[in-house]
Chains A and B, each alone.
Chain A
Amino acid sequence: MGQTSPLLSLKNISKEFYGNVVLQNVNFDLHEGEILGLVGENGAGKTTLMSILFGMPVIAETGGFSGTIELDGQEVHFTSPFDALDAGLGMVHQEFSLIPGFTTTENIVLNRESMKPGSILNDVFGYRMSTLDRPAMRKRASAAIHKLGVKLDPDMLVSEMPVGHKQFTEIAREISRENTKILILDEPTAVLTESEALILLDSLKKLSKDGVGIIFISHRLREVTQIADRIVVLRDGVAVKDTQAAGVTVKDIASWMVGRAMSGETGPREESRAFAEEAFAVENLWVDMPGETVRDVSFSVKKGEIFGIGGLAGQGKLGIPNGIMGLYPAGGSAHLESKDIPLNNPAAALKAGMAFVSEDRRGVGLLLDESLEWNIAFTAMQIHGQYLKPVLGGLFTQRDSVAMEKLCQEYIDLLDIKCTGTKQKAKELSGGNQQKICLAKAFAMKPDVLFVSEPTRGIDVGAKRLVIDTLKKYNREYGTTIIMISSELEELRAICDRIAIVDEGKIAGILPPGANVAEFGILMAGETDSPSRTKRMAAAEEVPNA
């Protein structure tokens, strides 16, 4: 390996979305029979890079990319995923793209079925009238399954399979193409159990021995160190590290992924502050939020503190505020200044003096079809009965448009929201300004504890700065306790007094913002030596190789 000319090489790949640079001069090669581990935080550019490689239409629609892709030394231009497939690239996506009602065989050879030799119908209607040669299809599927080195029943319906088998079916489909030379796997082990993941890793090793080049994208850093020959680390769209895997530890990768350097030095940060009384606490919280399950979380936050919650996507950090605010079924207990907060009851949580800025801005955060006035005043109106004026001596109440407009104008000035006026519809604003509306809505509640979930997701750098500064200012001026959930560690480290990292629905650890970045990385990757983890790893090793 390594001496041969590269199978695939990416040269100076850059890509920006509407002026937002997501990839910058990314270079790397993939050799025959090599397994390349591609790692990076959420939003580091992995998915964009793979979309470029595969000629996804979304890239061309957003202005294309710069740089060249070479396959076997030839420059290639894929205009659609079909071109990429023809050229010998295979991709296994995070989400399955299988037909549930078809068998393994049918899924593997889909649209490339073997046909029986022509009958009279073919002569009349062409090849579309050919009938399927099922034994031949079965043989091809079995061959692909065998090549993968796993046990799969070729006649089983996909809908009846365990998750792991679906993943294997996907891979078998990709390698059953005669010309597949490169296989890209995006988080293939995310949905698998540890033992299934081990079997998968073995099959990948086997495939690479047959000369297939593999790009393996994963958040599970231990898997990457186990399997990869070479590791490329992406951070903020830049390939910060391209190294041979031998001798690299999980800790090394973690620190490359998240931090500037090992020194623990980050940007300007507040001196540590001291807090007296406890403002808010949860015990044994569980939340059933799809994709963000919280299993058992307990923490306590001091009055006036900014408490950060970080972690990788899907580990449950988003479930925490959504569960406490009653948006998803939850259990456990929560207290606000020693008062019990009933769970599963949004109105009670809001009445108790909490407010929530949702990560799902367009879905939960805004009334897109209504005016800014409505968006900002609505929650305060419903919960505290504000912005209503009595009519006929208090017989009934009516919306107080004047007060709503005044409130809205106040926040437009305060947060510098760019809009044509208080009557503008929320859907017409840009992402950053929409986020400010969401903040204004929460501020209008005058909360004691404010939950802010992914406040900077999907907004540009300038707006990010402003949102963060606003939160900080609000915290300092009103002494509001803020619990901020974010995928961006740097952001948390810049503003929070303490940061909890969530892994697999539990708090893996709470660190001061000045802690070494590698420590955060290790907590995020779930590579602590907790007893349960060690036990699981041991159990996984007992499974015989298939």
Chain B
Amino acid sequence: MRDIKTFIQDFGWPRIIIFIFLIILFILAPIVGVRLDASISDVLNRFGQYAILVLALVPMIQSGCGLNFGLALGIIAGLLGSTLSMQFGLRGFMGFFGAIVLALPFSVILGWIYGKLLNKVRGEEMTIGMYVGFSLVMIMCIMWLVLPYSNPQMVWGFAGKGLRTTISTEGYWLKILNNFLAINIGEFFVFPTGLILFVALCCFLVWLFMRSKTGTAMTAVGSNPDFARASGVNADKMRVISVIMSTFLGAVGIIVYEQSFGFIQLYTAPNSMVFPAIAAILIGGASVNKASMANVIVGTFLFQGLLTMTPSVINSILQTDMSEVIRMIVSNGIILYALTRKTKVTK
């Protein structure tokens, strides 16, 4: 009894309620004619697609920069990496990891500038971050048109220049992780082994980093910057490192997303990736100053589970196709809920 109580306290009521709701949806699904195995496969897939984007928020939360509303910077670095990789004609694992390697310098440069900026606007990181994201997305809208890409699969057919809004990764590295060691059970269920393994590897690396000397210093900076400074830690430097890490993880996250989703989405698409990631980590139980791997995994699973199941179940009940509308309502509703639930820390 006591164990159950402490478990509930640790896990948190919001997560338990959402979890119960998710189970109800899974029970309802077969009743209204939605295939359960396909749904579960879908949820796993989406979990893998989004998990690294959610993971990207962890370093900045830990270093006290708050939720990275400027995650779009990382996504743009990832888009640059993946488009360049395609431009150079890299295919298969070579193409996928090539995209990550090519995204690295962009992440470091963008993250460094972004980090320097955030150090100047302490206490307002989240608002400023959001506008930094918006601005860069808009600048890139111009850049995607004028950059000299020439791969016929990527540029507009009629002009022969300027990148398309969506670029298929087919023939390059479509589902390269999803299909790696994938387990097929029946017609509808696929376990994306490679994807889940890659997510696990990323989580493990971040976990290791957080346990290193630098990671410890970063956490202390987030917990109490004055304490860290009095202990000889350069708080500004730690914050910049965390921003660079977050930006790079964002880049990796979007490349993983693209290989699973099948398309590179350019122009204003990065904007729509940020809020779901933030909502997921908040639902997972992270506060503005503390986040763990468990928060990332639980949060992504719950958020993407809801987002997958609610529209399909409701669609089947109502016998109409309004899944996109319902998805918008559900995802923004969850974001709203998650933002009101953000827990404060002792100051």
**Which A residues are within 8 Å of any B CB, using their own CB?**
325, 327, 346-351, 356, 358, 360, 363-370, 374, 378-379, 381-383, 385, 388, 396-399, 427
Contact = CB atoms under 8 A, between A and B. Distances in A.
Nearest to A428: B346
Contacts of A351: 232
14 contacts: A327-B226, A346-B230, A348-B232, A349-B232, A351-B232, A365-B227, A366-B227, A367-B223, A369-B223, A378-B220, A378-B227, A381-B216, A382-B232, A388-B212
B212 A397 contact: yes
Interface string B206-239: 0010011100110110011011011111100000
A351 B230 CA distance: 12
Contacts of B231: 346, 350, 378-379, 382-383
B290 interface: yes
B185 interface: no
Contacts of A369: 223-224, 289-290, 345-346
B212 A427 contact: no
Nearest first, the 10 closest Cβ-Cβ pairs linking A and B are: A347-B232, A379-B231, A364-B226, A350-B232, A368-B346, A367-B223, A346-B232, A398-B211, A399-B211, A427-B346
Nearest to A375: B227
A398 B212 contact: yes
Contact of B229 (A327, A366, A368, A399): A327
Contacts of A381: 213, 216
Contacts of B347: 368
Contacts of B224: 363-364, 366-369
A348 B232 CA distance: 7
A382 B214 CA distance: 8
Contact of B212 (A347, A370, A399): A399
A364 B346 CA distance: 13
Contacts of A399: 211-213, 216
- Kindly name the residue among B216, B229, B233, B234 whose own CB sees the greatest number of chain A CB atoms within 10 A: B216
A282 to B, nearest CB: 19
Given A364-B230, A399-B216, 19 more contacts: A327-B230, A347-B234, A348-B232, A349-B232, A350-B231, A351-B232, A356-B230, A358-B230, A360-B226, A365-B227, A366-B227, A368-B223, A368-B346, A369-B290, A370-B220, A396-B208, A396-B212, A397-B213, A398-B212
A374 B220 CA distance: 9
Contacts of B223: 367-370
Nearest to B224: A367
Nearest to A363: B226
Contacts of B216: 374, 378, 381-382, 399
A380 B220 CA distance: 13
A382 B233 contact: yes
Nearest to A322: B230
Interface string B191-217: 000000000000000001001110011
Contacts of A325: 230
B124 to A, nearest CB: 21
Contacts of B290: 369
Nearest to B233: A382
Contacts of B345: 369
Contacts of B346: 368-369, 427
Nearest to B231: A379
A399 B219 CA distance: 13
A346 B345 CA distance: 26
B228 to A, nearest CB: 8
Contacts, number: 80
Contacts of A398: 208, 211-212
Contacts of B226: 327, 360, 363-364
A347 B233 CA distance: 7
Contacts of A367: 220, 223-224, 227
A398 B232 CA distance: 19
A228 B306 CA distance: 75
Contacts of A368: 223-224, 346-347
- Kindly name the residue among A358, A365, A367 whose own CB sees the greatest number of chain B CB atoms within 10 A: A367
Given A350-B232, A358-B230, A398-B208, A385 B220 contact: no
Contacts of A396: 208, 212
Contacts of A378: 216, 220, 227, 231
Contacts of B232: 346-351, 379, 382-383
A274 to B, nearest CB: 34
Nearest to A350: B232
A365 B232 CA distance: 13
Contacts of A370: 219-220, 223
Contacts of B233: 347, 382
A427 B347 CA distance: 10
Interface string B233-257: 1100000000000000000000000
Nearest to A356: B230
Contacts of B213: 381-382, 385, 388, 397, 399
B292 to A, nearest CB: 13
B217 A382 contact: yes
Contacts of A346: 229-232
Contacts of B211: 398-399
A427 B289 CA distance: 16
Nearest to B229: A346
A359 to B, nearest CB: 12
B126 to A, nearest CB: 19
A351 B347 CA distance: 28
A492 B41 CA distance: 71
A388 B214 CA distance: 11
Nearest to A345: B232
A351 B213 CA distance: 16
Contacts of B227: 364-367, 378
A120 B334 CA distance: 52
Nearest to B208: A398
A364 B229 CA distance: 9
A349 to B, nearest CB: 8
Interface string B316-347: 00000000000000000000000000000111
A235 to B, nearest CB: 34
Nearest to A427: B346
A398 B346 CA distance: 27
Contacts of A358: 230
A356 B230 CA distance: 8
Contacts of B219: 370
Contacts of A348: 232
A411 to B, nearest CB: 16
A381 B214 CA distance: 10
Interface string B278-293: 0000000000011000
A346 B217 CA distance: 14
Contacts of A382: 213, 216-217, 231-233
Nearest to A358: B230
A398 B213 CA distance: 7
Contacts of B230: 325, 327, 346, 356, 358, 364-365, 379
A116 B94 CA distance: 84
A325 B226 CA distance: 13
A219 to B, nearest CB: 28
B286 to A, nearest CB: 13
A398 B216 CA distance: 9
- Kindly name the residue among A356, A399, A427 whose own CB sees the greatest number of chain B CB atoms within 10 A: A399
A420 to B, nearest CB: 14
Nearest to A379: B231
A379 B226 CA distance: 12
A308 B312 CA distance: 73
B262 to A, nearest CB: 36
A442 to B, nearest CB: 11
Nearest to A327: B230
Nearest to A385: B213
